[in-house]
C-alpha cells in the first residue's frame, strides 16, 4: 500500500512527541524523526494551528496539544481494541473449551478488559475490571517478558513489590528476571496455581507496530484436566490468537 508522504511525516512527528517524557525542541524532532528543519517547522505550525501540538515559546519546545488528548479520549470511548479482540477470543474458547481473557498492564498489575467464558465453565477471578499482580499472572508475565530490563526494574524496585496470593511466585527481581527469560525462550507464559489454587493459565503477548506489548491473551483451565501434551496444544492456540490480534491492530505477529 502506497503512503502519502505528508501524512506519514505528520504521524511520525506525533508518535515521536507521544514517546517523549516532556516537550522537546524542534531541532530534536527534526534530527530524531529524520526530517529537514524547514519541513519540521511547517508540520509543527500546521499541527499547532489544529491543536495537536502546543508551542512553548519561553522554552522553545513543542509538546502534544489538546486535540491529541481528544483523540486518545475518543479511542477510550470507542474501545476499538476490545471490539477487535472479542471474536478471536470467542474462537479461542471454542477451540480450547476453556475460559479466555485479555488483560493490559497497569503499573505492576494487569487489568482484565475482556473475559470469554466457555459453556459449562465456572466464572474465574479474571472478570472484567479485576486487577491482579502482573508477576503472578500468565498474562502479566507475557507482557513483562517483552519489556526492557530497565522497565521491569522500575516496576519492581524492591521486595515489597512482590505481593503473593497463595504463597507462590517470584519474590525478588532476580527471580522474576529468571522467569521472564524462560517466557521469552518458550514463546509463551504460564502460571500454576499462583492466582487461584488448582487452576493453570497460558498466555502470549499482543504486540503493536513497534513490537511493544499492549496486552496479554490467556486461557485458564483446571490444572488436573490438562497433561503436558494438552498444555502444549492450548499454548499453540493462545499464541495463534495473540498473533491474530497483533495483525488486527497493525502490529508485529511473531
Which segments within 26-67 are labelled E, that is strand?
Answer: 53-56, 61-64
Question: Are the beta carbons of 168 and 152 closer than 8 angstroms?
Answer: no
Tell me the pLDDT tens digit for each residue of 36-75.
Answer: 999 999 999 999 998 889 999 888 999 988 888 777 655 5
Residue 134 contacts by C-beta under 8 Å, 6 or more apart in sequence? 105, 108, 109, 110, 140, 141, 143, 144, 155
Tell me the pLDDT tens digit for each residue of 105-120.
Answer: 888 899 898 899 998 8
Domain ranges for the chain, please list them: 5-72, 79-248
Is it the case that residue 78 has pLDDT exceeding 50? Answer: no
> What kind of fold does domain 5-72 have according to CATH?
Arc Repressor Mutant, subunit A (1.10.10)
pLDDT band for position 236 (cuts 50, 70, 90): very high
> So what's the pLDDT on residue 235?
96
Locus of grid cell 499454548:
235
Pick the CATH number of 79-248 from 3.30.70.141, 3.30.1330.30, 3.40.50.300, 3.30.450.40: 3.30.450.40
> So what's the pLDDT on residue 37?
93
Closest CA to 222 of 109, 114, 96, 128: 96
Q: Burial letters for 118-149: b for 16+ Cβ neighbours within 10 Å, e otherwise?
A: beeeeebebeeeeebbbbbbbbbbbbbbbbee
Separation between Cα atoms, residue 131 and residue 112, nearest integer Å: 7
Is it the case that residue 164 has pLDDT exceeding 90? Answer: no
Percent of the chain scored above 90 by pLDDT? 54
Q: Residue 39's Cα: distance from chain center in Å? A: 33
Percent of the chain scored above 70 by pLDDT? 95
> So what's the pLDDT on residue 1?
42
Q: Residue 221's Cα: distance from chain center in Å? A: 23
Is it the case that residue 80 has pLDDT exceeding 80? Answer: no
Q: What is the mean pLDDT of the chain?
A: 88
Is it the case that residue 179 has pLDDT exceeding 90? Answer: yes
> So what's the pLDDT on residue 79?
60
The 3-state DSSP class for residue 234 equals: helix
pLDDT band for position 166 (cuts 50, 70, 90): confident
> Cα–Cα–Cα angle for 109, 115, 118, nearest 5°?
140
Q: Is the pTM of this model over 0.85?
A: no
**Range scoring the smallest mean pLDDT among 70-79, 82-91, 120-129:** 70-79
The average pLDDT across 154-181 equals 90
Amino acid at each position: 500500500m502506497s503512503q502519502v508522504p505528508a501524512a506519514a511525516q505528520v504521524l511520525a512527528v506525533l508518535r515521536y512527541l507521544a514517546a517523549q517524557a516532556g516537550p522537546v525542541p524542534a531541532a530534536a524532532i527534526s534530527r530524531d524523526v529524520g526530517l529537514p528543519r524547514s519541513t519540521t517547522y511547517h508540520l509543527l505550525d500546521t499541527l499547532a494551528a489544529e491543536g495537536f501540538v502546543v508551542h512553548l515559546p519561553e522554552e522553545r519546545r513543542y509538546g502534544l496539544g489538546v486535540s491529541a488528548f481528544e483523540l486518545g479520549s475518543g479511542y477510550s470511548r470507542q474501545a476499538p481494541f476490545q471490539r477487535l479482540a472479542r471474536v478471536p477470543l470467542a474462537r479461542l474458547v471454542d477451540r480450547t473449551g476453556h475460559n479466555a481473557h485479555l488483560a493490559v498492564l497497569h503499573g505492576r498489575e494487569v487489568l482484565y478488559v475482556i473475559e470469554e467464558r466457555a459453556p459449562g465453565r465456572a466464572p474465574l477471578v479474571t472478570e472484567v475490571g479485576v486487577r491482579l499482580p502482573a508477576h503472578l499472572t500468565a498474562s502479566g508475565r507475557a507482557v513483562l517478558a517483552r519489556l526492557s530490563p530497565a522497565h521491569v526494574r522500575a516496576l519492581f524496585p524492591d521486595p515489597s513489590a512482590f505481593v503473593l496470593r497463595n504463597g507462590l511466585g517470584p519474590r525478588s527481581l532476580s527471580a522474576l528476571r529468571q522467569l521472564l527469560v524462560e517466557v521469552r525462550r518458550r514463546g509463551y507464559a504460564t502460571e500454576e496455581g499462583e492466582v487461584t489454587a488448582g487452576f493453570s493459565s497460558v498466555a502470549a503477548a499482543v504486540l503493536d507496530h513497534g513490537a511493544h506489548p499492549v496486552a496479554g491473551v490467556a486461557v485458564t483451565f483446571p490444572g488436573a484436566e490438562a497433561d503436558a501434551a494438552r498444555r502444549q496444544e492450548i499454548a499453540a492456540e493462545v499464541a495463534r490468537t495473540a498473533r491474530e490480534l497483533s495483525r488486527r491492530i497493525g502490529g508485529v505477529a511473531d
